[in-house]
A and B are shown apart, each in its own frame.
Chain A
Amino acid sequence: MSSDDVMKGDSSSMNTVVHQSTTHDSAARHATGEAVYVDDIREPVGLLHVCFGASSCAHGRIRQMDLSRVKAFPGVVAVITAQDLPGLNDISPMHTMDEEILCSGEIHFHGQALFAVAADCRDTARRAVQLAEIDVEELPAILDVEEAIRQKSWVAEPHEMKRGNPARAIEQSAYRLQGELQLGGQDHFYLEGQVSMALPQEGGDMLVYSSSQHPSELQHLVAQALGRADHAVTVEVRRMGGAFGGKETQAAQWAVIAALLADRTGRPAKIRLDRDTDMISTGKRHPFRIRYEVGFDEQGRIEGIDLNLAALCGMSADLSAPITDRAMFHSDNAYYLPHVRIRSYRCRTNTVSNTAFRGFGGPQGMMGIERVIDGIAAQLGKDPLAVRRANLYGGEGRNITPYHMKVEDNVLPELMADLAESSAYTHRRKEIAAFNLQSTVIKRGISLTPVKFGISFTTSFLNQAGALVHVYKDGSIHLNHGGTEMGQGLFIKVAQVVADAFGVGLEQIKITATHTGQVPNTSATAASSGSDMNGMAALNAVNKIKKRLVRFTTKKYGVEEEDVQFTQGQVWMGEQSMTFPELIMEAYLERVSLSATGYYRTPKIWYDRETARGRPFLYFAYGAAVTEVEIDTLTGENRIRRVDILHDVGRSLNPAIDRGQIEGGFVQGAGWLTTEELWWDQSGALRTHAPSTYKIPLSGDVPEEFNVAIWEPGVNREPTIHRSKAVGEPPLMLAISVHSAINQAIASLAPGQALPALDAPATPERILMCIQSSGKP
């Protein structure tokens, strides 16, 4: 199959490696415990263990920091503060210069790193940290969005998207509605915490092993802190024990601290954050306050809408600008908004700097509009699904987003119809209504919500990827690319693409660790773009090698180019064939280059942020979920009874892996919206910093009936790798149906009234409060 065929999605090839449910390449090693994570790497002789001392107030100025007892503690080898940095004291990913590695004077949040200690053993380093004497002058802290807005405390300027005349449209509408929704944050709780090990090399070079989604940035930040060129630093990442966005920027600080101490002592140094430290000192999903005002007609069709999104960004910009932009890009979710204004406020607060988390602002944006739709339905006494359908993007005249991109690939009308039917939505909604009439304490609710998620980094230049492919003399293949493996199955998907293109079995391919020396200047493995971009880059490398092999074969055997086929481990030249290794050996002897780099840049995309216009996404991924819940109106306890999901992954590269992403994403989203509550006290200290108080979904929380299906007709209209679609983030937002269904259950207590204003997470406490404030016991 040629690359053109791949783009066309033609699968007439005899090769059957792609579109197959191959298991994760490391699955057996995971199951035997052989898989090596950073903390499992055999520790080099002389390894130092690093811990850091953290601030215990949210905002203040260090008057004096006395570390003499720390330094004197037996076993301590080195102690560093901001003054000891050879290079720049900054790790802000977008060069906003507002995020120090070690605090130089002004403390910006509770848990900020002030100094770091390296000792012969971990225990010693931890004990030594406790001996610091730090005198701090406390300053008034901004701890919430309201206060930040009052003080105009921003990490980035407010931003607006506008199309048409929303104020007039709302004014002239037959019906109007306004309201507010509070959304909590979310801790990533990757099961493997932040960890890095730095090994000094000759000539001042540094080798870093880290659990990071962004090796290239880590390389740059380590070099910058050491005051060296990027080429002096090499970063390797074999795998992460989960990441979910939490290791996109948040891995850097620890890697840099380990490298600084390794550089200073000339000894290898490792840092592994304790779970509480990890939860206190690393960023999370952004909490949002969303306000809306909407005008609509008697069908529930939105005519004009004004959305106000205020995000709690924490003490620094980090990635908050693109995250809050993405929230704006998804404030329409699946719906056409004829006249629209979306304003976004990026609040700087004295809390840990919030960061990327699966969905990257998208989930918060979607929650807003889905609440609006439920509110409209309640006001008109309609089935929310009917209102959703009435508002979906449609053909000409109803297909422009608030940022002027045309929606050309919308499959939701069909997909939602299929799902409503397969889940018996209408029938069950009636049953639930009947149940609620006779059940006094237990109430049920059902909701079907769609997802339309834009695929591409909205910062256009990030949409590039590289790969490196070698074929060795024996026909075995070395595969490397810039993407990182965090459990999502990226490595196996790219290996499938390469095996398919060479017409060989997967066992011929050696999957190798992400390494800044092999593929440079990579983007983070994020934005769900991993297989789209790295798959294409790897294919590009394979095609270069194949082209040389074909040229060589036609010359040597006098066959036509189109007669040369790579399939089932053989290379066919018309009627004749030889094995792939045989051809490789012949090519080698004839001095054909058997190694190539590959490169990919996403086509078509552009965005002008000034005018908020463009095509920031190559395509959209779609899906929908129906969730049925049950709540106990006396205790607020709740339970998911049944979930049905239909999700569009285009032509799946690996259906089993994709299903895993859908199931896991949904459950993680349900956690965000129901059980996972971050709670800061009045001094700005996080009090839910362990799994004992921060409730992550457990096996018992998973719906009893969980029907997950990949939407069969799915095919990407854009020329992506084998016509597949990205799947990492979109399924998380299917869990919006859980929150919406709980709200429906609460609403059943007071039929005919305005929709209850349930915030998130919908903990039992919040559900009870909501029941009380909705007027009925």
Chain B
Amino acid sequence: MNTHVIELIVNGDLREVAVRPNLTLLQLLRDHLRLTGTKHGCGTGDCGACTVLLDGRPVNSCLTLAVEARNRTITTIEGISTSGTTLHPVQQAFVEKGAVQCGYCTPGMIMSSVHLLRTNPDPTESEIRHAIGGNICRCTGYTKIIEAIETAARAKKGSGQ
């Protein structure tokens, strides 16, 4: 199969990659760029484990073709903390609130939450439930995840971010 060379910005870095037309964005991230924080859960757009931000909006990377990301900006779980050493407030809240058990849903869940708080800094509980409605967690029962997102919202408000 012939390949296309595409350029895209991943976590702030310009990348140039040769991709097959049927390669998914998830495969590009995991297999070609070795950004394995983004997980493969179902491959059919139903679990949210593969959620990344494409031009700032959450997408299921398993359903997005790599070529669709040409000249666009991707943010993955590896790219949300600005400093590289400290955790993003949402990551911090997930850790503190015990919103993580096996951790496999966590990166996708955090990406959905980060997007929520960027677009709606003060969400209600039902808005939070809605925002993570496409992210399956089989371990936690969601309660701690919802609490973590509420905590992160409060922390961001407090810090004026």
Q: A191-B136, A698-B136 are in contact. Are A24 and B87 (CB under 8 A)?
A: no
**Chain B residue contacts of A39, Cβ below 8 A:** 30, 36, 40
Separation in Å of the A444 CB from the closest CB of chain B? 21
When distances are taken between beta carbons in the complex, the residues of chain A under 8 Å from B95 are 23, 27-28, 31
Minimum CB distance partner of B136 in chain A: A696
B138 to A274, Cβ gap below 8 A? no
Q: In the assembled complex, which residues on chain B have CB atoms less than 8 Å from the CB atom of A368?
A: none
Assess whether B143 is in contact with A30, with CB atoms less than 8 Å apart.
Answer: no
Task: Indicate if the CB atoms of A189 and B138 lie closer than 8 Å.
Answer: yes
B129 and A699 contact, CB distance less than 8 A? yes
Contact between B96 and A23, CB atoms less than 8 A apart: yes
Tell me how far the C-beta of A241 lies from the nearest C-beta in chain B, rounded to whole angstroms.
3
CB-based contact A699/B142 at 8 Å:
yes
Q: Which of A146-154, A226-234, A484-492 contacts B (4 or more CB under 8 A)?
A: A484-492
The reply to whether B140 and A664 form a contact with Cβ atoms under 8 Å apart is yes
B38 within 8 A of A: yes
Query: A417 contacts the other chain (Cβ, under 8 Å)?
Result: no
- Cβ-based interface call for B25 (8 A): no
A141-164 near B? 1/0 per residue, CB < 8 Å: 000000000000000000000000
User: Which of A37, A243, A691 is the one whose CB lies under 8 Å from B44?
Assistant: A691
A680-705, CB < 8 A from B: 690-692, 696-700, 702
A242 at interface, CB cutoff 8 A? yes
Q: How far is the CA of A89 from the CA of B33 in the complex (A)?
A: 39
Contact of A191 with B143 in the complex, beta carbons under 8 Å: no
Does A34 reach chain B (CB closer than 8 Å)? Answer: yes
- Specify which chain B residues have a CB less than 8 angstroms from the CB of A31 in the assembled complex: 87, 91-92, 94-95, 100, 103, 106-107, 110
Interface contact A690-B100, CB-CB below 8 Å: no
- In the docked arrangement, what's the CA distance between A34 and B100, Å? 14
Q: Are A192 and B102 in contact (CB under 8 A)?
A: yes
Residue from B100, B101, B145 in contact with A699 in the complex, judged by beta carbons closer than 8 Å: B145
Which residues of chain A have C-beta atoms less than 8 A from B110's C-beta? 31
Residues of A within 8 A of B34 (CB): 42
Give Cα A31–Cα B46 distance, bound, in whole angstroms.
Answer: 21
Interface presence of A275 (CB below 8 A): yes
Q: Are A35 and B140 in contact (CB under 8 A)?
A: no
Q: Residue A668 at the B interface, CB < 8 A?
A: yes
Query: A691 to nearest B CB, angstroms?
Result: 4
Which residues of B have CB within 8 Å of A29? Answer: 103
Q: 1/0 per residue B126-140: CB within 8 Å of A?
A: 001110110111111
A554 interface residue, CB < 8 Å from B? Answer: no
Known contacts A487-B101, A691-B136; A663 and B39 CB within 8 A of each other: no
A338-346, A652-660, A743-751: which lies at the interface: A652-660
List A contacts of B105 (CB < 8 A). 191
Chain A interface: which of B2-10, B63-71, B73-81, B153-161? Answer: B73-81
A692 touching B143 by the CB < 8 A rule? no
The distance in angstroms between the C-alpha atoms of A188 and B136, with both chains bound, is: 13
Q: Which residues of A contact B42 (CB under 8 A)?
A: 275, 690-691
Contact with A along B31-70 (1 / 0, CB 8 A): 0001111111111101101000000000000000000000
Q: Known contacts A663-B140, A691-B42: does B133 contact A698 (CB below 8 Å)?
A: yes
In the assembled complex, the Cα of A190 lies from the Cα of B92 at a distance in Å of 24
A700 touches B136 (CB 8 A): no
**Within 8 Å CB of B49, what residues of A?**
191
Whether B138 contacts A33 by the Cβ 8 Å rule is no
Q: How far is the CA of A241 from the CA of B47 in the complex (A)?
A: 14
- A33 & B136 in contact (Cβ 8 Å cutoff): no
Contact between A27 and B137, CB atoms less than 8 A apart: no
CB within 8 Å for A275 and B44 given contacts A31-B91, A32-B91, A700-B133:
yes
In the assembly, what is the distance between CA of A77 and CA of B107, in Å?
35
Query: Which size bracket describes the interface of B in this complex?
Result: 35 or more
A201 interface residue per 8 A CB criterion: no
B144 CB to nearest A CB, Å: 6
Please measure, in the bound complex, the distance between the C-alpha atom of A355 and the C-alpha atom of B39, giving whole angstroms. 26
Which listed residue (B43, B135, B139, B143) contacts A706, Cβ 8 A? B143
Do A191 and B78 contact each other (CB < 8 Å), given the known contacts A34-B37, A275-B42, A664-B141?
no
Question: Cβ of A244 and Cβ of B138 under 8 Å apart?
Answer: yes
Interface of A is mostly: loop
Contact call A691/B38, Cβ cutoff below 8 A: no
What's the minimum C-beta distance from B62 to chain A, rounded to whole angstroms? 10
Would you call A487 and B142 a contact (CB within 8 A)?
Answer: no
Residues on B with C-beta less than 8 A from A33 are: 35-38, 76-78, 107
Does B146 make an interface contact (CB < 8 A)? yes
A-side contacts of B76, CB under 8 Å: 33
Report the Cα distance A632→B81, complex, angstroms: 45
Instruction: Judge if B98 is at the interface, Cβ distance under 8 Å.
Output: yes
Give A42's nearest chain B residue, CB to CB.
B34
Q: In A585-604, which residues have CB < 8 Å from any B CB?
A: none
Given known contacts A42-B34, A699-B145, is B91 in contact with A28 (CB within 8 Å)? yes
A664 to B103, CA, bound (A): 13
B30 neighbours in A (Cβ, 8 Å): 39-40
Residues of chain A within 8 A (CB-CB) of B39 are 37, 191-192, 241
CB distance from A609 to the nearest CB of B (A): 34
Within the complex, the shortest CB–CB distance from A264 to chain B, in Å, comes to 24
Docked-complex contact B91 and A487, CB < 8 angstroms: no
With beta carbons under 8 angstroms apart, the residue of A30, A239, A664 that contacts B106 is: A30
Which chain A positions have C-beta within 8 A of B133? Answer: 698-700
User: Are the C-beta atoms of B47 and A699 separated by less than 8 Å?
Assistant: no
A671, closest chain B residue (CB): B138
Closest chain-A Cβ to B43's Cβ sits at a distance in Å of: 6
B87 touches which of A32, A660, A668 (Cβ 8 Å):
A32
CB pair A191–B102 under 8 Å, yes or no, is: yes
Task: Tell whether A240 is near chain B: CB-to-CB under 8 Å.
Answer: yes
Task: Give the nearest-CB partner of A694 in chain B.
Answer: B46
* A242 engages B98 (CB within 8 Å): no
Q: Which of B76-118 contact A (CB under 8 A)?
A: 76-78, 81, 87, 91-92, 94-96, 98, 100-107, 110
Contact sample, A vs B, 28 pairs, CB 8 Å cutoff: A21-B98, A23-B98, A27-B94, A27-B100, A27-B103, A31-B91, A31-B100, A32-B77, A39-B36, A40-B30, A40-B36, A42-B34, A191-B39, A239-B103, A241-B104, A242-B102, A487-B102, A660-B101, A663-B141, A664-B138, A690-B42, A691-B136, A698-B142, A699-B135, A699-B142, A699-B145, A702-B143, A702-B146
Residue numbers of A with Cβ under 8 A of B are: 21, 23-24, 26-37, 39-40, 42, 123, 188-193, 239-244, 272, 274-275, 486-489, 656-657, 659-660, 663-668, 690-692, 696-700, 702, 706, 708
State the 9 A-B residue pairs at the shortest beta-carbon distance, nearest first: A33-B37, A487-B102, A30-B103, A241-B104, A667-B141, A487-B101, A33-B77, A40-B36, A691-B46
Extra contacts, 11 of them, besides A28-B91, A29-B103, A30-B102 (Cβ < 8 A), are A24-B101, A26-B103, A31-B100, A39-B36, A190-B138, A191-B39, A191-B47, A191-B49, A191-B104, A664-B140, A697-B141
